[in-house]
Chains A and B, each alone.
Chain A
Amino acid sequence: MALFGTGAIKGLMVTLGYIRRKPFTTQYPEDKLEQSPRFRGNTFVWYEERCTGCATCAKGCPLGIIRIVTHPEPHSQVGSDYHVDVFDIDTGRCMFCALCVEVCPYDALHMGGDFEQASYGREDMVISVEDLKAMPKKPRTQFRPQMEMIGHDGKDELEEHEAGRWSL
């Protein structure tokens, strides 16, 4: 080693070079970074007419935070149908793995988008069936991955005939 301290000074020169560069960070509440199109957030989109109340999403959830209560109801074409009374998603415990989206056989549940979910109580974090009905019916960012293979990009409304399992 030559003179003691030259290596440290070389390192400091690297740090000094950063004066010329633009900062990498953003000031969060004012500037927001653009999310990727597949971001898994806490917005849930539910297609009421496509959901049959089969509760596969509730079974597929690793934490069991989806609660579904149904009752049979007469249907004009198929005899009887299940009407969804309760569809509670406890996003306070949700870990946003999107497995509920992946298992839905009718592509009735989609998620994504929002990530700011602060609230004053845990009970406010539960998304009820009324909240789900009020959500804009547009598949947000996370939908069943297989649908990408048939050319769906999540920006448009889904047609009725596109629903259902393409593979798996």
Chain B
Amino acid sequence: MLASTKHILPRTNIRRERILPQLGRVVARRMQKVVPTDVVAEANLEPEHIMIDLTQGLNVSAAKANDLLQRQAGDVLSKGDVIAGPVGLFQRVVRAPADCEVKIAGEGKVLLEKDTPSYQLLAGMKGTVTNIIPERGVIIETVGALIQGVWGNGKIAHGVMQRLSKDLEGEVQAKQVDISFRGAIAIGGYCKDPEFFSTAASIPIKGLILGSMSSALIPVASKMEYPIIIIDGFGQKPMNTLASRLLITNEEKEISLNAQEYNRTTGKYPEAIISLPSPDNFNVPKDTDEFSVGKKVYVDSGPYATRIGTIEVIPLKTYTFASGIQTQAAEIALDGNQRAWIPLKNLEIIET
């Protein structure tokens, strides 16, 4: 059976496409070293247009207004430039209300496109631009540790990692974030108190990685200016042991957070990357795999959610759960010498 994979990898080749939502301009160069907050491309996503009725502005007919028109489509204007006129006793004219480009002119009207600020696409990770996709974006690569999450608040930052608690299992509390966290990426277990986020913002921290948080906090967490990544899901669950070990091992190293929105369809995950340059080649991690005995798995749902284990048995027959659901399942040897039957649909394979 085809299985999805969860990426918690101590060292791998990370290759990411950073693409504009529509055609624009790539500003990064090939082989450029970038950090997460560097702009790699830009586009004008929301062009603002102004329609000017020359017949009203000049108080003439549409035909006459066309005769008085001084500009044509494609002309670039500065604020105050004359578009049409002069006419009448007072030499009335129509001027450009802002820096703009004439898009359409005729029938007594002009349509102008204002010179509006561009949308800026950030690198989202530390690495090297290995390829340019003209007018669309870039490909950035690095070697390092990769931890993918399941919820992010859309922000990007990088900084040095600092632990909120020893084991990343318990609840994080506002009193744990003090001035020593200023400019740091804080890592912790789970959060159920909205005050924690505002206290962390006041320090200010640069970013936050949690195992889980109460879903009631989604609106508050979404508004925070610093990136927040949730690794395992919603609730009061400790961070999974693989991710917590990996983060703890690399404490005080620099980490990039791209807390982009999780989108299963596009395959975009919020992710934390610790760049660990190496002369060795590593494979790009697999996105799917097949279940088989001996594979390491992550339990994504149910009473054993966030636990890591190894597949012991996958019988051909279905297994009946307490819910009454009959489905294909596997017996899993969980961390801590525990065994449990878990639906295959609630498992993700972890590459080792």
Are A and B a genuine interacting pair, yes or no? no
Q: Which residues of A contact B (CB under 8 A)?
A: none
